[in-house]
Amino acid sequence: MTPFVRLLVYLVAAPLLGGLLAGLDRKISGRMQARMGPPLWQPFYDVWKLWRKENIVVRRSQNYYVFFFLLFVIFTGALFFAGFDLLLMVFALTLAGIFFVLAAYKASSPYSFIGAERELIQMMAYEPMVLLTAVGMYMAGGSFYVHDLASRSSSLIWPLPGVFLGFLFVLVIKFRKSPFDLSCSHHAHQELVRGITTEFSGSALAMIEVAHWYENVLLLGWVYLFFSAWPVLGVAAALAVFLLMILVDNTCARLKWQTTLKSAWIVTLVLGFGNLLVLSFL
């Protein structure tokens, strides 16, 4: 499959798969909480309803920042699935997160302001480990290009077990799951006011939801990259990680931001940097 074809498949299939995963998340979470849960297609109904609603904003520039947030998330996934530079992908995803934070700051609401501050704390927590994951793949695979890493005959999980475990730890933050869902949570019982997304409505909130769908598919694709030498195992590993995120989300209470930051940095230092240090001597 050519990079252009993979890019087209990603642009079309990622929001469909991401929406289905969001619906599966709600369904499984509901069963874990002794209730039926919404229909599997509920996330699509919600986004469609948001697109049709009036978009009320405090400042019009909010919508531009949200649009660029969505655009850079899609661009990041396009880089990944077309097989381009992994390091550039990390920087593009960080830029997308910054646009999301700027959109919340523009709302001039104390609730969205606090949510934006916590989003920045989350970024400080997970970014070092995400960057070390890209560096570790370069050290083990000899290239930053996703195409080269995916075409290897041996799996990246063998030289990078610590990096993989550290990446799983910060994925809880990236997926916005408890105990690290500091800036906002998709569970209604945990939120009186919905953090960073408090002042968004209508199409802007719909774009945020779709951006998260694209991002979740990208992150699961990165999990697959660790096992790409065995495609079936890679898909199974990505699905297992997704189910693990749901389990952790429904069994853990939210932690303080200080604990989130410290624990993420300790994991990055011990598992991530420690793995790279051992790899450099082999």
Q: Which residue in 68, 225, 66, 196 sits closest to 137, CA to CA?
A: 225
Measured between alpha carbons, how far is 39 from 61 in angstroms, rounded to an integer? 35
Helices (H) and strands (E) in the chain, counts: 11, 0
Smallest Cα–Cα separation from 46: which of 25, 68, 74, 67? 25
Question: For residue 171, which of 264, 75, 47, 274 has the smallest C-alpha distance?
Answer: 264
C-alpha distances out from residue 77 to 58, 182, 199, 271, Å: 30, 24, 27, 26
Q: Model pTM greater than 0.75?
A: yes
**Sorting pLDDT into bands at 50, 70 and 90, what band is 36?**
confident
Classified as helix, coil or strand, 118 is helix
Would you say residue 239 has pLDDT above 60? yes
Tens of pLDDT along 183-198?
A: 877 665 555 567 788 8
Give the chain's mean pLDDT. Answer: 90
Lowest mean pLDDT among 55-69, 177-191, 212-226: 177-191
Residues for the chain: how many in total? 282
pLDDT given for residue 5 in this prediction: 86
Q: How many domains does the chain have?
A: 1
Domain assignment of residue 26, given as a range: 3-281
Compute the radius of gyration of the chain from its Cα atoms.
18
